[in-house]
Structure 1
Amino acid sequence: MEIVVKGRNTEIADRFRNHVEDKLAKIEQFAPRAQRVEVELTHERNPRQADQAEKIEITVRDKGPVIRAEAKASDRYGAFDIASGKLLERLRRSRDRRKNHHRYATPAPVDEAPVATSEETSQDQMPERPVPPTEPGQSVEAQLGDSPVIVRQKLHEARPMTVDQALYEMELVGHPFFLFIDDETGQPCVVYHRHGWTYGVIRLNTVVAGTDTTNHVPEQVTAGANG
């Protein structure tokens, strides 16, 4: 298993690198097929954010779903310990799921959220799009026009999956949303956290230029949806 440690806006000392490698050796107990573990340390230079100056993101690349955890703290060792704790818990859950051959527990009711049509989005408000990445796993950062806004894009490989599997993989990476392709409809979809333990789904229809989008975007609001 390869462990890669890299820094953004900071240098990685050998002492910290050794600490990371020693602690992440436990990964093989939960994911013996893990091929690569990426650890990225980002230092925030803004003194107003000193209590969260060090951000750690850990990503495990296996033959199954990507598993990720991140944390922030005032020092890198504290941030790493928090992130690694989250990661090992997610790895344990993933291992137990495979071992028991059980499907992911049925989540709370899923609400379908409405999708904005082209009439609801003014082209004048759309920013200039930076050149997207072309290789899976590649990240590209670019300044948005003349503004100080930096847009970071990353390309991921996607395989069709069910909503159930998408919710499971969203929990593994610890994100509030997860983009995927529905294997039944072929639609790009997003699952996301709503209130408490409920979830939502946003679905997109492919619209051909020049057609009336109101004929292609189905009504997707269910009763009581307020997210």
Structure 2
Amino acid sequence: MNITVYGKNIQLTDALKEVTTKKIGKLDKFFYKNIQAKVVLSVERKKQKVEVTIPFNGRILRVEEVSDDMYSSVDDAVEALEKQIRKHKTKLEDKMHSNESIKFENIEPLIDDELEEDFKIVKTKRFAIKPMNVEEAILQMDLLKHDFFVFINGDTDEVNVVYKRKDDNYGLIEPEF
């Protein structure tokens, strides 16, 4: 596993980088190939935040953990990633070509009290999407008081999504086909 550690609003010491790399490296037992893991350590409002993103075989594992101690946040992130892998083991095994990246024999099944039901769609909405620019889409999203808005980008003629981020800024998703 190739692990890249970045610091944001924090002085990234060699010790912190080494401990983070070692702990995230424990997840290597779940993967066959050289998987890239990106770890961002940051401090926001005196909270120690760890974001880990691991893209593999067309899927992405991602966690974000916050605590008062950076080392504790790293431990929580590793635990959350392991739980995600265990939780979705069956679904990942069923998908074609998943076994190219993941070592399923190293994933222990979840205990019964940790199991969750399958995904359940409780409501379906249909709506017409019309071409508009990004600013119009953000305005429409705010008017509807939604966290995201799907629209056809008038400049590119492609389906895009704008969303409100936790930092009160906006994000734009432009799918690639």
TM-score, scaled relative to structure 1: 0.46
Aligned residue number for residue 26 of structure 1: 26
Q: Which amino acid aligns with 2:139?
A: M
User: In 2, are the aligned partners of 1:33 and 1:62 still within 8 Å (CA)?
Assistant: no
User: In 1, are the aligned partners of 2:6 and 2:41 still within 8 Å (CA)?
Assistant: yes
User: In 2, are the aligned partners of 1:31 and 1:95 still within 8 Å (CA)?
Assistant: no
Q: Relative to total residues, which structure has the larger helix share, 1 or 2?
A: 2
Distance 1:109 1:55 in 2: 32
**How many Å apart are 1:54 and its aligned residue?**
0.8
User: In 1, are the aligned partners of 2:27 and 2:78 still within 8 Å (CA)?
Assistant: no
Alignment CA distance shift 1:92-1:32 (3 Å): farther
Alignment CA distance shift 1:150-1:109 (3 Å): closer
SS of residue matched to 1:11: coil
Aligned length: 125
Aligned residue number for residue 169 of structure 2: 151
User: In 1, are the aligned partners of 2:50 and 2:73 still within 8 Å (CA)?
Assistant: yes
Q: Which amino acid aligns with 2:124?
A: E
Aligned residue number for residue 51 of structure 2: 57
Cα RMSD (Å) = 3.2
Aligned residue number for residue 206 of structure 1: none
Aligned residue number for residue 4 of structure 2: 4
Q: Which amino acid aligns with 2:48?
A: E
Return the index of the structure with the highest Cα Rg: 1
SS of residue matched to 2:169: strand
Distance 2:125 2:34 in 1: 36
Asked if 1:126 is matched to 2:133, the reply is: no
- The CA deviation string for residues 192-224 of structure 1, in whole angstroms up to 9 with x for no partner, is xxxxxxxxxxxxxxxxxxxxxxxxxxxxxxxxx
Alignment CA distance shift 1:102-1:150 (3 Å): closer
> Which stretches in structure 2 are left out of the alignment for 5+ residues?
97-116, 131-135, 141-166
**How many Å apart are 1:98 and its aligned residue?**
3.5
Aligned residue number for residue 122 of structure 2: 110
Q: In the alignment, which of 85, 97, 104 is matched to residue 91 of structure 1?
A: 85
The structure 1 segments of at least 4 consecutive aligned residues displaced by more than 4 Å after TM superposition are 114-118, 154-159
- Percent identical residues: 21
SS of residue matched to 2:52: strand
User: In 1, are the aligned partners of 2:3 and 2:25 still within 8 Å (CA)?
Assistant: no
TM-score, scaled relative to structure 2: 0.57
